[in-house]
Amino acid sequence: MGRPDMLLIPAIDLKDGQCVRLRQGNMDDVTVFSDDPVEVARRWIKAGARRLHLVDLDGAKAGEPMNLAAIQAITEAAGDIPVQVGGGIRDEDAVVACLEAGVQYVILGTKVINEPHLLADLCIEFPRHILVGLDVRDGKVAVDGWSKLSQHDLLDLAQHFERDGAEAFIYTDIHRDGMMQGVNVEGTRELAEAVAVPVFASGGISSIDDIRRLAQIQDSGVAGAVIGRALYEGALDLAEAQAVVDEVQSQS
């Protein structure tokens, strides 16, 4: 069997039912890109997206999913295209609500760092549906909406979560998120080499060169990338980027 295709995953951030983007997670630095996130989802699928990444920003603030109606409308529009969602998913009820809305993967963050047994319990209850978002600044994992740095070393924590049953990790370099400054290739590679489960890069992806650099480290376990602002501002064309990834993979 060959290696699975590397996925380029468009991000759709939901706030007040709209599609927005933040800079460095700052809820006060919001750009509204569309008041119709379902249409945005259809656009990315038409461009060739093989998965979609949703973030419930209101949910992240409230501590529970707040945009379930929009999420379900997107999963219905997506059809067979898998959808992953994060933001406010902090207990079993929230996981169930997202899965019932048609989501394939749910992303947990702060809660599983603060409550170590939660991840293992959820992975037993919902096998192959639980991803973990690792938001990192200077080698430490940030919590509580990036407002605090935990004392946990990234690689130690990731290996612990892998043993608990995490299906994959989404690695975000906080310094770069939404800033169009380029992806942290070395940080992504280091994490991917430390675990056996897939790792998705996130934060700062701004050009086709970033995509090419990530594609060249697929063998490290980098399974894809979540892309936001670069797509919305036209700095990156999804179909072109996926073609680059597929070409690099075919040559390796």
What pLDDT digit, counting tens, does each position of 91-123 carry? 999 999 999 999 999 999 878 988 979 999 999
Q: Does the pLDDT of residue 145 top 70, yes or no?
A: no
Annotated catalytic residue, options 135, 173, 177, 210 = 135
Q: Does the pLDDT of residue 3 top 70, yes or no?
A: no
Which string of b and e fits 124-156 if b means at least 16 CB within 10 Å?
A: eebeebbbbbbbbeeebbbbebbeebeebebee
Annotated catalytic residue, options 13, 56, 58, 177 = 13
Q: What is the pLDDT of residue 231?
A: 94
| pLDDT band, very low/low/confident/very high, at 2 (cuts 50, 70, 90) | very low
Dihedral over Cα of 55, 60, 64, 69: its sign: negative
Active site residue 36: no
Read off the DSSP letter of residue 168. E
Active site residue 93: no
Q: Which of 23-32, 44-53, 89-98, 217-226 is predicted least confidently? A: 23-32
- Residue 148 backbone dihedrals phi, psi, to 5 degrees: -135, 150
What pLDDT digit, counting tens, does each position of 187-217 carry? 999 999 999 999 999 988 989 999 999 999 9
Which string of b and e fits 53-83 if b means at least 16 CB within 10 Å?
A: bbbbbbbbeeebbbbbebbbbbbebbeebeb
Average pLDDT, the chain: 90
Residues in the chain: 252
